[in-house]
Amino acid sequence: MHQVTKTGEIALSVIIACYNEEFVLRESIAELIDVMNVTRYHDSYELIFVDDLSKDNTVALIFELMEIYPQVKMKLIRHEKNTGRGRTVTDGLLAAKGRIAGFLDIDLETPAHYIPAAAMEIERGADVATALRIYKFLWRTFYRQILSVGYHALEAKVLHLPLKDTEVGFKFFNRERVLPVLTECEDPGWFWDTEIMARSYFAGLKIVEVPTLFIKRYDKQSSVRLVHDTIDYFQKLAHFRREAHRLEAVYRARGFSPAPVRTARTNAVISAGPALLKK
Ligand SMILES: Nc1nc2c(ncn2[C@@H]2O[C@H](COP(=O)(O)OP(=O)(O)O)[C@@H](O)[C@H]2O)c(=O)[nH]1
Ligand SMILES: [Mg+2]
């Protein structure tokens, strides 16, 4: 399944959506590059930074990182207006060159070492490999977990979407297969994550959920405004319902039914590292 990559060709694009990342960027990029360098993609990956008009020193730091790691292919796209996470990731995906392209939140709450596992699923024929967060139980994150479970129960009921974690900031795609779906997505913000997953599902793309350990950080503040963003989400979900049902009807009228969503075996995740190590 693994295709041979010609010298200089990009096999994997990692998009880093940046918004005020000064606090985490240097350490996270070091960790990400450490991971990439031991994979078979060590000489065929690119990092695409998309800055969503950060107010801190993120952009200066990106230029610095470009100098620190001259051997790593890096690109920077800068927004003139703050657009939100969805639009930011989209711009990265549109600029990506890799057969496999995706993004991960650069606070690395879903650690970078799951990238090989996600890439492996795409190499094996999945169109979308998305993280399925496994949380360590903590009272501090309990309300977020409840919200997350509630949201996905609602998604299943309202959108007929059988996915367990659509909102995670860690998704990799077969780039060519997802492009038509990507251009249909409308929401520029957080709801984009639901939209891309729903549209992918109803376009018949093969989705794999990869269980990943989620390590919540307490040394930084979340940019999610819990009450505001939750209300926003529910409104958008209600609004998107009609579109999801339309997509489902169109798809079924063509005689198809959506591909079953698969959960990657956890030991596949563990074995993905060595399997993808460079020779
Ligand atoms: N492009 C863009 N990214 C944002 C914006 N707000 C937050 N993010 C990014 O979205 C990611 C997830 O945010 P985070 O604060 O970690 O949320 P949490 O993990 O859900 O608590 C981080 O990489 C943020 O920098 C925004 O306005 N634009
Ligand atoms: Mg986070």
Please tell me what DSSP assigns to residue 161: -
In this prediction, residue 224 has a pLDDT band, given cuts at 50, 70 and 90, of confident
What does the pLDDT read at residue 135?
84
Judge whether residue 114 has pLDDT over 70.
Answer: yes
Judge whether residue 4 has pLDDT over 70.
Answer: no
Segment 11-69, tens digit of pLDDT: 999 999 999 999 999 999 999 999 999 999 999 999 999 999 999 999 999 999 999 99
> Which is more confident, 44 or 252?
44
Residues around ion ligand 2, judged by CB within 5 A, are 105, 107, 109
Q: 144 alpha carbon to ligand 2 midpoint, in Å?
A: 12
> Which is more confident, 222 or 19?
19
* Stated pTM of the model: 0.93
Pairing mode, if any, of strands 100-104 and 170-174? antiparallel
Decide if 193 contacts 167 (C-beta within 8 A): yes
**Cα-based distances in Å from 247 to 118, 161, 209:** 26, 12, 22
State the Cα–Cα distance between residues 41 and 75, nearest whole angstrom.
17
Domains defined along the chain, listed by start: 12-276 (3.90.550.10)
Question: Which residue has a Cα nearest atom 21 of ligand 1?
Answer: 222
Question: Which residue has a Cα nearest atom 13 of ligand 1?
Answer: 223
Segment 195-206, tens digit of pLDDT: 999 999 999 999
